[in-house]
Amino acid sequence: MKQPELKANERELIKLIRFFSKRAKSLIETGQLDPEHEKLTAACQNLEQQLYTHAHNRSAILEKRAHLERVVEDNAQCPQCKHADMLKRTGTTSNEHGWRCNTYKCRRCNITFTWNRPNNPWHLVEFLELYIKELDTALQTEQSEQMRQHIITSVAQMQDSLSRLRPVLQDSEDEVTALEEKEKEMTRLIHQFKNYLLIEKIKLDTLEEPEV
């Protein structure tokens, strides 16, 4: 398994744990430290394991989140030549609704433009909701039966997309919230354990004090 990325406080504690375990082990071996102390060493290793599990979990959730950011295919096409083959993405911008959209350059027409459709699922949900509302309004005054059918089909397709998108986004939201909670808990634990180890380390230092 690939080593997950650790935060600075996690790295610092793991370093301390390793240093402390090594010191304690050699002191037990030379009989300068009560074997009872092994319990503390075991607790240290247990915590180190917990830290890695947490870090793995965090990177998996963040990776899923990053994937979700990129999942929307905006199907952009040049407003002038109506093609997509010569498009080059130049960046992102926010439109009047606050939705993040991609900007493009068409190398055939040599123009740059903003594709007015969100490039991410969160804004896509808002886009679909607004679009459905507009179509519903249009339906109320539409006279042509053919147009009415067309609108009804479009709305149904969009409702379908929405019902597939919403639970995915909700799951991701729940995961991120749970991760944030866990992060707080780990930060507290790391802080407490670090202080505890620093005190234990001072005790070990005292044990090793040269006799005068």
User: What is the contact surface with Zn ion in residues (CB under 5 A)?
Assistant: 78, 80-81, 106, 108-109
How far apart are the C-alpha atoms of 158 and 129, rounded to whole Å? Answer: 8
Q: Given the complex with Zn ion, which of 47 and 78 has the nearer CB atom?
A: 78
Least distance (Å) from Zn ion to the CB of residue 156? 32
Q: Given the complex with Zn ion, which of 91 and 160 has the nearer CB atom?
A: 91
Q: Given the complex with Zn ion, which of 75 and 141 has the nearer CB atom?
A: 75
In this structure, the chain runs to a length of: 212
Least distance (Å) from Zn ion to the CB of residue 75? 15
Least distance (Å) from Zn ion to the CB of residue 117? 17
Q: Given the complex with Zn ion, which of 91 and 207 has the nearer CB atom?
A: 91
Element containing residue 87 per DSSP (H, E): strand 87-94
Least distance (Å) from Zn ion to the CB of residue 112? 11
Q: Given the complex with Zn ion, which of 30 and 110 has the nearer CB atom?
A: 110
Least distance (Å) from Zn ion to the CB of residue 105? 9
| Residue whose CB is nearest to Zn ion in the complex, by number | 78
Query: Which among 96, 71, 15, 77 is positioned nearest to 48, based on CA atoms?
Result: 15
